[in-house]
Amino acid sequence: MKDWEMVFLGQVYSTTMEQTLAALKHFGLVDKKNVLDAGAGYGSITIALARVNDNVVGIERDPERVEIANFLIKKSDQTKWKSHAPTVITMEIEKMGYGLRKDGIMCHGVVMYTKDWKETLRTLSRLLAKKGTMYIDIYLPKYIDWNERSGAKATLIKAPEFEKEIEKNKLKIVRTSMTRGDRVKEYIVEKI
């Protein structure tokens, strides 16, 4: 594992389970039947999602991250799942078919890294059931700069353009907030 990967792994697991669960509650991503963690990374949010929702699946394009995520899922407290353990599979968001619609989607720190963010948003909207809730965020310029130093190439998505695209995809913005010292904009959206 490269040095930066170790830093990233440490970073995502430095948020406590209690903090993540409180955030999920705040975002309305609890007590859902079918939840997708889109771009699950090392699965830290996937694990938290499965404590408070029924069927949780993570998808992640990097097979090494998928392997570690599933290892960490196995190692985590098996008595804490709301229904059963989640799984993370190797898959690109845009390649998801027309399977079961989700009533919750978490897409944390992902859309800027996909090949075509508009296509990603279209796919996520298609996967979300009517009245379903999705969390999605975008990095503002200062966070993109910081990120590029790690070698990860992220696209700068301008907030007004992103918001227009959200509306085009039959999604309604329920709430927005700023995080990471005002460098990341978060959206809670609902499928109309």
Ligand X SMILES: C[S@@+](CC[C@H](N)C(=O)[O-])C[C@H]1O[C@@H](n2cnc3c(N)ncnc32)[C@H](O)[C@@H]1O
Residue 186 is a binding residue for ligand X (CB under 6 A): no
Count residues contacting ligand X (CB under 6 A)?
19
Cα(40)–Cα(71) distance, rounded to whole angstroms?
14
Q: Which of 154, 189, 158 is nearest to 174 (CA)?
A: 189
Q: Are 88 and 106 in contact (CB under 8 A)?
A: no
Q: Which is nearer to ligand X, 40 or 171 (CB)?
A: 40
Q: Are 94 and 3 in contact (CB under 8 A)?
A: no
Helix axes 159-168, 117-127, angle to 10 degrees: 40
Which of 20-28, 39-47, 169-177, 178-186 is the region at the interface with ligand X (rule: CB under 6 A)?
A: 39-47
Which of 16-24, 56-64, 124-132, 136-144 is the region at the interface with ligand X (rule: CB under 6 A)?
A: 56-64
Binder of ligand X out of 24, 41, 140, 171 (CB under 6 A)? 41
Helix (H, G, I), strand (E, B) or coil at 53: coil
Which parts of 83-122 interact with ligand X (CB under 6 A)?
92-94, 108-110, 113-114
**Interacting residue ranges for ligand X, rule: CB under 6 A:** 12, 39-41, 44-45, 59-62, 65, 92-94, 108-110, 113-114
